[in-house]
A and B are shown apart, each in its own frame.
Chain A
Amino acid sequence: MRALVVDDSALARFRLKTFLNKVGFSDIVEASEGYEALRCLESSHDFDLAMVDWIMPGMQGLELITAIRSDHTLDSMKILLVTTESDPVEVQRALTEGADDYVAKPCSNDDLNQKLTSMGLGNTLQN
């Protein structure tokens, strides 16, 4: 399975990448903001999952989700918003724009795996 991790924090990307490796994602691509993520998606359409932060320099998470969902070649890719944004109005906007689910930072591997499982992408956590 392939995943795209979009976060401006190198630490956050490292933590998500480590988690994804543990649940069987074999190919994980990193982007530090939305425009970089879109370039990754233009060159390859076969990602199963995008984990997207909200507040980033350049293109922010909400704009990125809107851009992804306007490209129907990416319809099968799930989007999980992983963010410190907790305002229910804002989160609902992201879900309306096309995010499949949302998880608030800080989140454990179990929290993340639960979300992936509900999206049909979960797996047994490997140590």
Chain B
Amino acid sequence: MAFAPKCKDLPTAIEMIWKSMVGVPLTRSGMRTPSDDEEMWVSGVVQILGEWNGAIRLDCSWNLAQAVTARMYGIELAAVTPEVACDTVAELANVVAGMVKPLLGSRSHHSLPTVVRGRGYDFTVPHGRSFEQCGFDCETNYFSVTILQRAKANG
């Protein structure tokens, strides 16, 4: 059994996931992250461990997280709770990690997703550097995906 990556690059992977799960068109844009402004953001993070080590980080404006959650559940925006919106971002990050992992060309495992919510924050993995990143506009909102590579083993 052989699995070829479903896509060639990170932006294409994100567009495929968004089309399949959310059903809303995306426009590629510049990078915006939670540290760039004072709006509320939510981030889903999945660590990748094995031959390749690092993390996949999906940063999403809180407005977009709520809007996407409402759309995917077919409910009103007002009915979206923080818990459910965070679960949505976690699952999106999880699916992104699953699709990106084969692109990294190594045997690795990924963790359960972790979610961070707040304003003006930043985070990375120890010895981490940005390996690849891309930003998108989705209707009037935005999100970005960053692949963080851990430069060396840490204990």
Interface residues of A (CB under 8 A from B): 8-12, 14-15, 55-57, 83-89, 91-92, 104-108
A11 B91 Cβ-Cβ under 8 A: yes
Interface residues of B (CB under 8 A from A): 1-3, 6, 16-17, 20-21, 69, 72-73, 84, 87-88, 90-91, 94-95, 97-99, 101-102, 107, 109-112
Separation in Å of the A89 CB from the closest CB of chain B? 7
A105 B112 Cβ-Cβ under 8 A: no
**Of all chain A residues, which has the CB nearest B2?**
A88
**Of all chain A residues, which has the CB nearest B73?**
A14
Separation in Å of the B37 CB from the closest CB of chain A? 27
Besides A91-B3, A106-B21, 5 other A-B contacts (C-beta < 8 A): A14-B73, A84-B99, A86-B101, A88-B3, A108-B20
The residues of B that contact A56 with a CB separation of less than 8 Å are: 112
A106 B17 Cβ-Cβ under 8 A: yes
B1 A12 Cβ-Cβ under 8 A: no
10 closest cross-chain pairs (CB), A and B: A84-B98, A106-B20, A9-B91, A11-B91, A10-B87, A105-B95, A88-B1, A106-B21, A11-B88, A86-B3
The residues of A that contact B90 with a CB separation of less than 8 Å are: 9
Given A84-B110, A106-B16: A91 touches B1 (CB 8 Å cut-off): yes
B95 A106 Cβ-Cβ under 8 A: yes
Given A55-B110, A104-B6: A9 touches B94 (CB 8 Å cut-off): yes
